[in-house]
Amino acid sequence: MVKPRKLHSLKRPKVRQSWNKYNLYNISQLRPPRLGERTGDTYFQQKWKAKGLLRAYHGEHVVERKWARMFSRRLLGVSSTSPDYLARNDGSEMARGKGFGLATPPKNAPQNKDGAATPYMQMTFAPMERRLDVAVFRAMFASSARQAAQFCIHGGVKVNGKVMPFPSYQLNPGDMFQVDPERVLYATGLPKHGTKPRRQRGQNRRAKASGEEEAVEETAAAEEEATAEEAAEQDPETTDVAAAEKQDLAPTKQEIQGLIKQAKEVLSEQKLTVAQKRRVRDFIKQSKPLLGKTGRANADPAEILEQLATMVSGLKVEDGSADAAAAAAEEEAAESSTGRKKELSVADLTPEEKDRLRELIAKEQENPHDPSKPYLTPWKPRPYMAPFAFIPQYLEVNQSICSAVYLRHPVARHGSAEVPTPYDQNTNQLAFNWYLQRK
């Protein structure tokens, strides 16, 4: 059996393209690696470490040789120019005088006022952003790049109206891709098991284990009963008189089984305190030996009934809420018997209550409760992802229909680059030089 790969670690963290809570914590705590500043690493070692850090984030699910073929020396960038300047000039004056000793640009040429350089080195993994699975993750239609690739393989992603089962498909400017809304809700919504606290989940596991133990005890009691009956039939000293003296304990057995069933229903349906649940479970546990005694030949029904009465008298589950529920049930039964039932009309509500009622109805219609869904309903977004949720500028996303358009290839501008990356320019430059010498 192949051991599953551990993608997220807190001891030796490597950030990934994922909304996993451990990964989001690693991203929030990430600091610049400062390769070559504190250690005596060679230039080759610095490039190797930078390449390892960046490849862990940018397409770690892509084989290295495939990424090496995708790597491009071209680093796309644009220069911001004012519309007024473009209206007066065609750009030829920018090259005027070059090679003729003119070192100063024209006076009317646009200047970079903030003085920030264009971070071209941040564009090292720009070709990776063209992959369909990465674009689906960037559009916030999947919780990780691996999950986006799974959506593509299973036929949940369309490109220009056609199903695209290849996660490595290279998008072109103008391509529109769409993801199945149910998959998007499952990927970005809160899972069902995430609604219960850890302590409550542990209690549920223990209750399930106790239920299995109860099933084992019932099986053992049934086997003991069958063994006792078989021994009574095969006993050579049994006479007709002894058979006549044997009493029928079937009613007693049915009564005990009915009490156990009612106790289990009360335990599962009603809201009880911890002490009340403990008393009900103790009653169920103590009833099992009595259930086994009813199958014995020498059982005394009077003794069994006496013990059962003692156990029932010690079982007190009623509380104020139970009394209120019983009173409400009696009132409802009385109203149904008399045919009179109090009806609440919308006209009796205040204007504020009517507005609130309309909001609740609209909210329920927009986000209904559906237990059949694999995610929590009413739908809620996954926790911890809000500070990390962003959409790049080269994507135009419509969250209502779960579709997006790949507008253009990412480019670098003055002071910013459009390729999302958690690492600084120095680390990206080292990785670019690593792949540059191998191209």
What ranges do the domains of the chain cover?
A: 21-76+118-190+388-437, 252-314
Mean pLDDT of 139-151: 95
pLDDT at 350: 81
pLDDT band for position 122 (50/70/90)?
very high
- Residue 6 is predicted with a pLDDT of 76
Are 369 and 378 spatial neighbours (Cβ–Cβ below 8 Å)? yes
Measured distance CA(223)–CA(218) in Å, rounded: 9
Measure CA 362 to chain center: 26
How many Å apart are CA 177 and CA 405, to the nearest integer? 6
Determine contact, residues 391/139, Cβ cutoff 8 Å: yes
| Res 161: pLDDT | 93
**Closest-CA residue to 286 (of 216, 217, 227):** 217
What pLDDT digit, counting tens, does each position of 95-119 carry?
665 555 555 655 655 555 555 788 9
pLDDT of residue 332: 56
**Structure confidence at residue 142 as a pLDDT band (50, 70, 90):** very high
Q: What is the pLDDT of residues 26-74, one digit of tens each?
A: 999 999 888 877 778 899 999 999 999 999 999 899 999 999 999 999 9
Q: What is the pLDDT of residue 235?
A: 42
Per-residue pLDDT, 230: 47
pLDDT at 305 over 80: no
Contact predicate 44/414, CB 8 Å: no
The pLDDT-based confidence of 11 (bands split at 50, 70, 90) is: confident
The rounded mean pLDDT for the chain is 78
Read off the pLDDT of each residue in 182-192 and give the average, rounded to a whole number: 91
pLDDT interval class at 87 (50, 70, 90): confident
Under the banding of pLDDT at 50, 70 and 90, the label for residue 224 is low
For position 306, what pLDDT does the model report? 74
Query: What gap in Å lies between CA 117 and CA 416, rounded to an integer?
Result: 9
Predicted pLDDT at 138: 96
The pair of three-digit structure tokens given for residue 168, joined into one six-digit string: 């490595």
Strand, coil or helix: 2: coil
Query: Is the pLDDT at 177 greater than 90, yes or no?
Result: yes
Superfamily of domain 21-76+118-190+388-437: RNA-binding S4 domain (3.10.290.10)
Residue 239 pLDDT level (bands cut at 50, 70, 90):
very low
The pLDDT tens digits for 360-404 are 888 888 888 888 888 888 888 888 888 888 899 999 999 999 999
